[in-house]
Amino acid sequence: TLATIVFFIITIFSQGLRLPVLLFTPFAIPSDAIPDNTPLSSISSAPFGYYSKAAIVADAPGCAAQGRKILERNGSLMDAAISTLLCTGIVNFHSMGVGGGFLMVYYKASENRTYILDARETAPANATEDMFVDKVPNIHVHGPLAIAIPSELKGYYVAWKKFGTLPWSDLFEDSIKMCREGTPVTPTLDTILKIFGDRLPVGTPLWHLLHNESEGRLKTTNEIVTRPELGDFLERVAADPEALLNGSLVKEIADDLAEAGSIITLKDLVDYEPLWRPPLEMPLRSKSVEADLRLITPPPPSSGVLVGLALNALANFNYTDGNNFTGNATLYYHRLAEVLKFTFAKRSLLPDECCNNKEDEKLLKSLMTLETADEIAAKVTDNGTHNTSYYGSVFLPPSDQGTAHVCLVGPNGDAISITSTINTPFGSCVIGSRTGILFNNEMDDFSTPGSPNAFGLPPSSKHFIRPGARPISSMTPIIITNASNGTLRVIIGAAGGSRIITSTLQAAYANLNLGVNMKQAIDSIRIHHQLVPDELHYEMEMPSTIVERLNILGHNVIEGGMKAAVQGIEVSGSPCPGESEGHCLLAYSDYRKGGDHAGL
């Protein structure tokens, strides 16, 4: 047909000139001209877990099983979480570890109450907002000045003192053994080394750790990495955790940092405190039902509120299992990208911490309302895109990368969602000689005055370095419950920098609204748009016809980029296969990172 011919002409022509989409909107393309669907189905062979009592999902292979072992010994869910995280920090040490920090959501079923633990790293007392201005390139990314106050271990100890039941030392047994005997390089770490290996500082402890010295090359999949110094340090932590607070262990960390050239002092480490914060609880739409769910997430520095905002905005388009986007996937992905642009415009306004003033408090309350979500949906135009300024305030948001995520549901109905990070792959690349700790580079999560990005956007003053500040993060640990009775529905989160927000959103939306299970929701083809740069990234499995049509609508489409890995547990009201009663915990670890699940 004429319309089909016009479509192909436009596709070819627009690739080079990127002409305004409104020139082409009169040429409607019949629905049968070119297939336009991408079914929500499992596209990987990664296994899906069904558990009737408890479930654990981690993005490092073998680590969920360590958490299960703790539950089998009658440990608490918090005990299992700490053991799982310690393991993950050893297997996926490029993403997280005891040299970083975390954000945790803990839902206690017996109280119908949520606890938020903010163990995010902070800027040291000697930090200044201009400490990276006109300095050596990448000094804010690699090296001692990039390190923020590490907080992971203190966070574990605070969480265990409140909710742990097993002896503290029991939680460290497996991780100490792993450090000494070694763990194999995973396919994920192998990929990271292929991408970032040539950036490792030559001759440093990290460089030696990751090199096959006899063959003069980087280690590859299944070669063993041992960390005996870290194992010895963890053994000392297991024996005397109080020494982390103001004793020999915290002094060891301080001495390592001083030796490396960090500005973090012993006083910084002693003064640091993980914070119990009030949760953000916002109404959440599911399918066509108004606010029948409740989304629970930490306040800033987490970005979880943005996932809730975007979920509520997308609900306006009424995609359901009976009215899904099969047959018009282009329009779905276009609307999704537009909602993401509005969402990331709001992210640049989020404060580092909530809520230091009435303006920040007002903003946060606004983002939690259905009215703000409706306003975003109303501004989405189905026939094209707009200039960046159309979507809201345009400031350069801080960038973050890396991370790891763990989800748990216990036999008593408790649930935990935790995201942990050392920021970019291998953090600061600094390993302490006494402790074996690989330290974070969280100072890179702050913005620097007078440093616009490649697109000329200025940084937001909300995100400048301040002593004691905790930088804004894409981390979005989330628990979703039924609003009427508080029963669990979804436990979810992701690893992968700014893609955490977009990937968690898409997986949660598909599971809650499109009639697919957690595996299908996480496996499904994703896009990513963060407003700046104005690029729509899509996964390679995306059908080419959809990519072409998104380009015609005005999107600057780009294949690939770093991926996020989502971890999720869906709580079904129906019994597990082979069982006649009870509920079922459907657990899945994203095939994109190669984690796994375990349970009871």
Cα 337 to Cα 347: distance, rounded to the nearest angstrom: 15
Q: Which residue has the tokens 């020139």?
A: 23
Cα 484 to Cα 167: distance, rounded to the nearest angstrom: 37
Q: Which residue has the tokens 């011919």?
A: 5
The rounded radius of gyration (Å) of the Cα atoms in the chain is 24
Cα 339 to Cα 333: distance, rounded to the nearest angstrom: 10
The answer to whether 261 is a known ligand-binding residue is no
Cα 255 to Cα 260: distance, rounded to the nearest angstrom: 9
What single-letter DSSP state applies at residue 28? Answer: P
- How long is the chain? 600
- Dihedral of CA atoms 302, 411, 567, 42 in degrees, nearest 10, equals -150
482 Cβ neighbours under 8 A, 6+ residues apart: 292, 293, 294, 488, 489
Q: Which of these is catalytic: 403, 424, 502, 504?
A: 403
The answer to whether 461 is a known ligand-binding residue is no
Task: Check if the beta carbon of residue 298 is closer than 8 Å to that of residue 114.
Answer: no
Select from 351, 348, 374, 370 the least CA-distant residue to 362.
351
The answer to whether 120 is a known ligand-binding residue is yes
Cα 288 to Cα 317: distance, rounded to the nearest angstrom: 9
The answer to whether 382 is a known ligand-binding residue is no
The answer to whether 190 is a known ligand-binding residue is no
Residue 106 is encoded by which pair of tokens? 């803990």
> 533: cis peptide before it, omega within 30°?
yes
Residue 553 is encoded by which pair of tokens? 């609508």
Give the three-state DSSP class for 94: coil
The answer to whether 263 is a known ligand-binding residue is no
The answer to whether 292 is a known ligand-binding residue is no
Cα 309 to Cα 453: distance, rounded to the nearest angstrom: 27
The answer to whether 421 is a known ligand-binding residue is yes
Residue 181 is encoded by which pair of tokens? 């005997």
Strand pairing report for 536-538 and 557-559:
parallel
The b-or-e profile of 139-153 (16+ CB within 10 A means b, else e) is ebbbbbbbbbbbbbb
Q: Would residue 403 show up in a list of annotated catalytic residues for this protein?
A: yes
Cα 445 to Cα 146: distance, rounded to the nearest angstrom: 9
Residue 41 is encoded by which pair of tokens? 């189905």
Task: Check if the beta carbon of residue 588 is closer than 8 Å to that of residue 518.
Answer: yes
- Annotation: binding site for L-glutamate: 120, 421-423, 445, 473-474, 497
Residues known to be catalytic: 403
